[in-house]
Structure 1
Amino acid sequence: MATVTEKKKASAPKLQHSKERYMFWFENMLLQRRFEEKAGQLYGQQKIRGFCHLYIGQEACSSGAATALTKGDKYITAYRDHGIPLALGTDPKAIMAELYGKKTGTTKGKGGSMHIFDKENGFVGGHGIVGAQIPLGAGIAFAEKYNKTGKLCICYFGDGAIRQGAFHEALNMAMTWKLPVIFVVENNGYAMGTSVARSSNVTELYTLGEAYDIPSEPVDGMSVEAIHEAVSRAAERARKGDGPTFLEFRTYRYRGHSMSDPQKYRSKEEVEEYKHRDPIEQIRAVILDNKLATAEELEAIDKKVKEIVAESVQFAEDSDFPDASEAYTDVYAENDYPFIMD
């Protein structure tokens, strides 16, 4: 990834966290990592078909936000969407079954990898059209404000999506109406294979929010602590009625854009450089250095997580594909429209 000049220091964590929170971060990010590693293997075995975009390396972006927000808050993202529901507590079995296209999946096998959905945990979906979820995120926030729920929406999108006009329209409307929304650009450096520096004159992406007078800041996307802190501040602002915040999570994906990406646009050395700042290893070090757990206890957690993933795979393997008639269900909000019944 092209190096950019840091014009504003990225956010750094300031608060001390409980043992329980550090242990949650470690286990949850590890669950995301092992789940995605297995998904990649299964795709290679043609168990998973269609599109598949892995979240490996970006786990802090979801786990940090999950501990900063509360039950009832809404999450929306693009098609790299396995990690966020795993951070929120969605059943890994249901997610894996969805990747398999089975009827026990989160959307009954209809959505696949790019369209995970979990209403109970506030995950309103992965979305396949680049940038399309940004105005939806603003709309969800409008509904929360209109209904006086005290809840908010956090809207994730990639660095490529900020080239869409909908990004600017949504930010303008959100600030004008002081909507309770947190806009998050997960800047992993590349829009597919195009670096930020090659596609934009503005490489400090958070500054785009400042054009609309939205409080904006860069955040170390490889630090779950930094993300927790930044999202906590943004959430407090939203709940006070002060409107949106725009956060740039400076993160990195270790795998390709999708499973078909040959990754010729970057070097192995670049990938390894980011792996030295791996979010899971950072938390592992904090836990061990502060004697919150032993190396053996962390190894046991890894074993537990691998078993959860293995059970998810078995569940997906054992589940049935949906009947062809399912293609006609869940299409409309109601089931008794005259033209459907005729």
Structure 2
Amino acid sequence: MLEPYLSGVWKDMFTEGEKTGPRGAFPHGHRPWFHPQDFSRKDVRPETEADNYLIMKEKHLDKYNVGAAILTGDEPIEASTLANPYYASALVSAYNDYQIAEWLPKDSRFMGSIIIAPQDPKLAAAEIRRLGNHPRMVQVLASQGSVKPYGDPFYHPIFEACAEVGLPFAIHLGGHGGINWNAVAPAPTTFFWETHAILHMSALSHVASMIAHGVFEKWPDLYFVIIECGVAWVPSVLWRLDADYKALRKETPWLKMLPSEYCRRNIRFSTQPLEQPANVQHLWSTLEAMDGENTLMFASDYPHWDYDDANTLHIPPAWKSKIMGLNALEVYKRIPRTQAANAA
């Protein structure tokens, strides 16, 4: 309806946006910016759910000999943006049941994520306990966007439930907008490319918060997994946290180790998207500073446009076996060690 009244790049963005949203719907302000093309790869255009799996099998699972693939969904984590926590919790619960019934049976390599709506931690904890003993649900997953940094005691019922069922707590890029008004930066960004480049900002605050509030003292075996937020920022944040903790530790007397030590023990990061400096040695020095050999886990971000090819990942060759599988097996203990060549 609006198309005849648009021209140039605006018409192109509108018609491209229609492919991923309700046809004929007016673009809404859930996010203050829109991807100028599409979030998905151009060669991934399934007509049906069956096609969706077959394309994934051909272009990713079989092509790279993936041993275990952890499903993270896409839109379900956006439930964190809704003001109504009851509706949000019902939506993610329905998605979790759909995932178990419709996707896990498709392929023995698939492992699931228990999606939660963190704006009501008690309802989220109930969902974790409801599905936490399912043998193929291997992590609890929330959006990067949240109303508070995740270390805040407001969220501790979630971690208590994770500890009870023995699952890691993971956050995935997303949940920008709605009640998570500052999920990316102190104020709204303008362009998608600008936004994409600084998506690590809220992850940075979650790392500091989880450590400062003593989450890993209360639950020392809990893994916190950060997915799709980049990694080159990690060493500089840990350096600052260590230095300031040494000077100001009286504020948090419950901490027994340096922030960097908690990070090495309890926090893991996905490789997607690795930063791409002109000189790869600069990246490798940064990865070494964050103990990347032991803290990084491969992620593909299939089927998105910035998908990472498992064969061209720019990591030190000596680290490959750990990053492509062994590190994940330490975090996701329900994945059979004989099954997982890669964690994707």
TM over 0.5: no
Higher RCO structure, 1 or 2 (CA under 8 Å, sep 6+): 1
TM-score, normalised with respect to structure 2: 0.31
